[in-house]
């Protein structure tokens, strides 16, 4: 092997274990596996509730759901009592109007990692 490639080879060999140690951390974050309503869905009527299923257990006491409406208003949602450690649910008000909605979620996985994101959906109305 040429001597000019030896430092590169050494750096790669030293970096590989560090990359292997970093990979499990990426799996530790709570990721949405399914949602109701589904992301990007167009609904004829407002849903009665929202639900997010994650790939790991969630600390429900430190998790939040906020609904953002077509008029840029925001409404914090009260989480339903826990029935499944990986599921976050909340009832919705019956007064949701037609338009583009965003469900902003923030959850704390039991391993201590906070994850947040948005689920967009549209209510078409009658």
* pLDDT (tens digit per residue) in 55-96: 999 999 999 999 999 999 999 999 999 999 999 999 999 889
Q: What pTM was estimated for this model as a whole? A: 0.75
What span, in angstroms and rounded, lies between the C-alpha atoms of 96 and 67? 10
What span, in angstroms and rounded, lies between the C-alpha atoms of 102 and 118? 6
The token duo for 74 is 């925001």
């Amino acid at each position: 092997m040429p001597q000019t490639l030896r430092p590169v080879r050494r750096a790669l060999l030293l970096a590989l274990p560090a990359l292997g140690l970093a990979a499990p951390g990426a799996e530790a974050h709570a990721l949405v596996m399914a949602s109701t309503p589904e992301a990007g869905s167009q609904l004829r009527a407002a849903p009665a509730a929202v639900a997010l299923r994650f790939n790991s257990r969630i600390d429900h006491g430190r998790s939040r759901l906020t609904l953002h409406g077509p008029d840029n208003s925001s409404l914090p949602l009260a989480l339903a009592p826990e029935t499944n450690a990986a599921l976050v649910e909340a009832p919705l008000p019956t007064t949701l109007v037609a338009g583009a909605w965003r469900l902003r979620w923030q959850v704390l996985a039991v391993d201590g990692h906070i994850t947040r994101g948005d689920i967009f959906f549209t209510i078409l109305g009658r």
